[in-house]
Amino acid sequence: MTYTRLVESLGEASPALVQAARTIGSPQIRNAGTMGGNLGTCSPAGDTLPVLAALDATVVLRSAAGERRVPFSAFMFGPRKSERKPGEVVQAIEWDDAGHSQVFLKAGTRNAMVIAVANLAMVVDRDRRRVRVALGSVGPTIIRATAAEDLATGLFEESGWDRPLRVEEAASARFGELTAAAARPIDDQRGTARYRRHIVAVMARRALARTGAAA
CATH of the domain at 195: 3.30.390.50
Indicate the angle between helix axes 193-213 and 169-182, nearest 10 degrees.
130
Q: Considering only CA atoms, which of 15, 16, 12, 26 is closest in space to residue 4?
A: 26
Q: Does one domain contain both 106 and 88?
A: no
- pLDDT score for 28: 95
CB 33 within 8 A of CB 2: yes
Q: Does one domain contain both 184 and 158?
A: yes
- pLDDT score for 56: 97
- pLDDT score for 83: 96
The maximal CA–CA distance of the chain, rounded, in angstroms, is 54
Q: Does one domain contain both 106 and 90?
A: no
Q: Does one domain contain both 209 and 116?
A: yes
Helix (H) or strand (E) holding 67: strand 66-71
- The domain total for the chain is 2
Find how far residue 90's CA is from the centre of its chain: 19
Indicate the angle between helix axes 3-10 and 15-22, nearest 10 degrees.
150
Cα–Cα distance between 74 and 53 in angstroms, integer?
Answer: 10
Range of the domain at 63: 3-94
Q: Does one domain contain both 86 and 39?
A: yes
Domain boundary among 94, 113, 147: 94
What pTM value is reported for the model? 0.95
Mean pLDDT, 10 residues at a time, over the chain (215 residues)? 92 91 93 93 95 98 97 96 95 95 94 91 97 98 98 97 96 98 94 97 98 90
- pLDDT score for 130: 97
- pLDDT score for 215: 75
Cα–Cα distance between 38 and 98 in angstroms, integer?
Answer: 22
- pLDDT score for 109: 87
DSSP code per residue over 84-111: PPTT-EEEEEE-----S-EEEEEE-SSS
